[in-house]
Amino acid sequence: MPIVIKAGDSPEEVLTVLAPVMHYFGATPSPQDATRFAPFIEPSRAFTAREDGAAVGGCASFPLELTVPGGVVRAAGLTIVGVLPTHRRRGVLRGMMRAQLDDVRRRNEPVATLWASEDTIYGQFGYGMASVSGDIDLAKSAVAFAQPIRSRGAFRILGEAEALAPLAEVYERVRLAQPGMIARGAEWWRNRRLADPENRRQGAGELNRVLLTLDGRPSGYALYRLRPQFEAGNSVGDLRVIEAIGATPEATREIWRFVLDVDWVARVKAFLLPVDHPLFFLLARPREMNFRVHDGLWIRLVDLPAAFAARRMGDAAPVVIEVTDAFCPWNAGRWQISGAGAERTSADAELDCDITSLGSVYLGGFSFRRLVRAGRVMELCEGAAERADTLFPADLAPWCPEIF
């Protein structure tokens, strides 16, 4: 039977799209799973691959506002991508990616982004690794700061409903300046960050929501779970930081001092931290974090002029780049990149690269010179990579604190 890929036309379609990817989590979609997706994905953004009426693959995208260096851009956040193992190697994923990226283009979203379940999949569709994240596993015996601080803030554990407004205020102060972060509306906070259904706990306890107030203003917060465990009367359990954010350097120091000082745990674990996290210099023994780096956001540029217009470009002489884009050929060709953005040109190319490389440099997480050294960009004119890096300034390592 032929496989037909079609956009959804009802809210129930989102649950259908979830089914193939949930197969790999050993479950079928539940109403609790649906609350993480259905309120934010209109049916026409959800694509199902069907054979003889049965769903064999699916994918969808969130409409996002993504912070980029110096601005924000409308983006499609690809999610819940899956193909049943019975239908591997039959072009189902390629067909869904085709439908999804064509849909993104129709919606005038210049950028698509995702978290990759496997790092070998999405480069073939033009996504480039654009950031890296880190996880830590820190023994309580190594939580001392190099320079002890005296806390002057007030801390309070909040209920789910009362946490929304102050935590969202702190997040928004950080989000507007941090490349890689996404805007969160009230429903996103309620359903995806503050809700605490049993199936999200993964063996740990209930979600704790702690607010830090400095000078009467919400300035930091921590979301964490405790996993209690005891041996011979001693704690061998851990505290799992889901998100800990400070709106100022002082608030960051204070919220992490609070988290690291929670009693009755043997270890503190945290996930999806930025690679330039202050903990490297806050901790007296930073190597004890066991900081493990892995890929973070992947970026796919769908509309080059619009994507470059959304971010701050540097002050340097223009550079001409020959771009290869087999999957979205409207991007292919020769582009002059300057402080004003991107425009077509017939001038001689100075750099030659695939669209994935432009995705990698877009948020400022990687440089053209680094990609030249790795053989992912070809420098055709001496000094062109250095000039291109000047055109893509970034003050902070890109960071997204949640997987969508």
Pairing relationship of beta strands 319-324 and 351-354 according to DSSP bridges: parallel
Q: What torsion do the CA atoms of 181, 186, 192, 194 make, to the nearest 10 degrees?
A: 110
DSSP letters for 17-44: HHHHHHGGGTS---HHHHTTTTTT--GG
Residue type at position 103: D
Please count the other Cβ atoms lying within 10 Å of the Cβ belonging to residue 383.
Answer: 11
Alpha helices in 294-395 (DSSP H): 304-310, 355-362, 368-373, 384-391
**DSSP structure class, residue 349:** P
Distance (Å, whole) CA 111 – CA 89: 27
- Distance, first Cα to last Cα, the chain: 33
Q: Map residue 252 onto helix, strand or coil.
A: helix
Q: Which of 37, 122, 171, 366 is catalytic?
A: 122
Active site residue 171: no
Pull the structure tokens for residue 285: 């023994």
Distance (Å, whole) CA 82 – CA 2: 18
Q: Which of 47, 171, 362, 404 is catalytic?
A: 404
Q: How many residues does the chain have?
A: 404
Active site residue 122: yes
Please name the residues in contact with 287: beta carbons below 8 A apart, sequence gap of 6 or more. Answer: none
Q: Which residues are catalytic?
A: 122, 404
